Amino acid sequence: MVVMLQCLNHETIVTVSDAAQSFIQRPDDTTKNCCILSSRTVENLWKVPEMRHGQRYQPRRREPWHGALSGGRRVVSLIMYLAVIVTAGVLFGTFSSRLEGCIDFPMICPKRNTFGNVDFNYLLRIYLGSTSIIPYVFFANVPQALVSVLCLTCNGLFTAMLANRE
C-alpha cells in the first residue's frame, strides 16, 4: 500500500462520496457523454473504445401494437374465435339442410321463428337424459357464457395493445 501511495500522488478513495468527488474533479474521458446509457449498451461498447465517442442515449423504440400480445394469448384467442365460428357454421348447415324442401314444396315450409310462434325445425335435437332438466338448462346457457368469454378475451387483447401504445 505504501508503494501505491508513493507512486500515485492522488488522494485515497475511502468512501463512495470520495469516489464521486474525485470523478467530478477529474472526469474520465472514457465515459464522457455516456452518462445515460443502458448497461447493455455500455457492456457492448466497452469492448470497442472507438465506438464510445459518438454514443448518446436513445430511448428504446416502441413495440408495434400487434407485438404487444404474447404468443399464448394470441393463439388461445384465435382458437376460441375459430371454434365459435366453425360451430356456428355447422349449426347453420344443419338447420339449412332441414329446410331444403322449402323450395320444392312451399306448403311444408316452416314458419319463421317469432314470439309465440316457434317452429321445431329450428331446434336442436339433443338427448341429455330425461331425469333432470339441469343439463338442458346448462346447454341452453352455453352460448351466453361463450359470448361473455369471447368478449373478455377481446377486451384483454385490446387492453394489452393500448397499454403498450401508452
Q: What is the mean pLDDT of each run of 10 residues along the chain (166 residues)?
A: 60 62 71 66 69 59 75 90 93 75 59 65 73 84 91 88 77
75 in the same domain as 37: no
143 in the same domain as 94: yes
Q: Is residue 105 part of a domain?
A: yes
Angle of helix 71-98 versus helix 134-165 axis, rounded to 10: 140
153 in the same domain as 75: yes
45 in the same domain as 18: yes
At 128 the pLDDT is 77
157 in the same domain as 94: yes
Number of domains in the chain: 2
At 160 the pLDDT is 84
Which residues make beta-bridge pairs with 117?
A: 114
95 in the same domain as 46: no
**The domain containing residue 101 runs over which residues?**
71-165
Please give the model's pTM, rounded to 2 decimal places. Answer: 0.49
86 in the same domain as 14: no
